[in-house]
Amino acid sequence: MTTAIALQRAGFETVVFEAAPEFKEVGAGIALSINAMKALPALGLSDEISTKGRLMETFTIYDEGGRKLSQTSNTSLNGIQGPGNFIIHRAELQSFLVSKVNQDAVYFNKRMIDFEQATQSIIIKFADGSECETKYLIVADGIHSVARKKLLPHAKPRFSGQTCWRGVITLQEMELEESFETWGRQGRFGLGPLLDHKFYWYASLNAKPNDSAFRQFGIRDLQNRFNDFHSPIPEVLAASTDADLIWGDIIDIKPISQYAFDRILLIGDAAHATTPNLGQGGAMAIEDAVILANELKKETDVNLAFLNFEKRRLPRTRKIVNESWRVGKISQLENSALISMRNWVMRHFPASVNEKQLKFLFDVDL
């Protein structure tokens, strides 16, 4: 959506083919990190969106007893680099972005199943039997991208060893002025405030891929794992119902080394799906939108502009995917000695060092 917005704003004729029959209200919460928020003004979206979520001053990591392991102050990052982390309901973000795309240019029920590259064009083939001839194809069909599978068959989704439940609850009496994660021995729990006394939470456990026991998990099972964690985690789970649960294994794509294929360009999760540990998948997709529009404005040869985009995006997205993978492993250690060592190091690390490490995430060259 953000790429369609960016290209339409830049004056390029852009059409979106979407597999779903409609955009439904989906998902739980999503954090738009500082770099994502820095990209939004270029899309003309920053003012309006700010009323639809919560800007967070701090992100804290606790141990399961509630002892602070580290805290990132978005205000101090803010001072250096831009606006803070913003938490918004996914459904809110999606409907907002959809409303900013020229509606005549969005075609639903158009699931691409294949494409053919000709010299001067691409023929896209859809599941409903129809075809479309286009000059260029920007592939934004997510982690299970059909086009990426054809272009790079070896690049397959990679299971992180972790599985995750998410939900949104309403708790009138709860006050929370930060988003946090708790790294316990039994798993990881995250919480962040949305608008109107709503809260977004997630719980992550180490797992085998597509584990049938976890597939059946309900709130009671999560309470068995997380009820010894510090407040308000038990209260949050007590306020949740099985119907609130969204479950999925955590996967990414091991970094690939090509996004541009003549008239075809991979962007977003189709190009660089990452684990959610740094909250960067959506952020990178938003960065892609702005950077692609800028490269297309600078270079009239579109194939060359795609290559320039690839050159700029490969190193940064690779670094983020790898770093996120690493953070995922560190956050869900199981060995007690390693956990104690990790927690000690985190508690004694000055916040400034932590913030310095995050600087590369937020210092995006748009």
Give the residues lining the site for ligand FAD (CB under 6 A): 17-20, 30-31, 110-112, 140-142, 146, 164, 166, 268-270, 276, 279-283, 285
Nearest distance, CB of residue 305 and ligand FAD, angstroms = 19
Nearest CB to ligand FAD, comparing residues 269 and 295: 269
Q: Sheet of 68-73: strands edge to edge?
A: 68-73, 58-63, 179-183, 188-193, 198-206, 157-170, 246-253
Instruction: List 213's β-bridge partners, or say none.
Output: none
Q: How far apart are CA 140 and CA 286, in angstroms?
A: 12
Nearest CB to ligand FAD, comparing residues 112 and 291: 112
Q: How far apart are CA 266 and CA 211, in angstroms?
A: 31
Q: 68 is written with which tokens?
A: 């602070």
Nearest CB to ligand FAD, comparing residues 73 and 280: 280
Nearest CB to ligand FAD, comparing residues 89 and 110: 110
For CA atoms 363, 315, 147, 279, give the dihedral sign. negative
Which whole-number Å values give the CA distances from 142 to 18, 269, 277, 282, 328, in the listed order? 11, 5, 18, 11, 21
Nearest CB to ligand FAD, comparing residues 157 and 299: 157
Nearest distance, CB of residue 192 and ligand FAD, angstroms = 9
Instruction: List 126's β-bridge partners, or say none.
Output: 112
Nearest CB to ligand FAD, comparing residues 179 and 294: 179
Could you tell me the maximum CA-CA distance found in the chain, to the nearest angstrom? Answer: 62
Q: How far apart are CA 120 and CA 129, in angstroms?
A: 22
- Note the helical H segments in the chain: 2-9, 34-39, 46-49, 74-81, 90-99, 146-151, 212-215, 219-226, 233-238, 268-272, 281-298, 302-331, 336-348, 351-362
Nearest distance, CB of residue 333 and ligand FAD, angstroms = 20
Nearest distance, CB of residue 320 and ligand FAD, angstroms = 10
Nearest CB to ligand FAD, comparing residues 277 and 343: 277
Nearest distance, CB of residue 354 and ligand FAD, angstroms = 19
Radius of gyration of the chain (CA): 21
Nearest distance, CB of residue 33 and ligand FAD, angstroms = 6
Nearest distance, CB of residue 284 and ligand FAD, angstroms = 7
Q: How far apart are CA 240 and CA 221, in angstroms?
A: 12
Nearest distance, CB of residue 142 and ligand FAD, angstroms = 3
Nearest CB to ligand FAD, comparing residues 19 and 245: 19
Reduced to 3 states, what is the DSSP secondary structure of residue 170?
strand
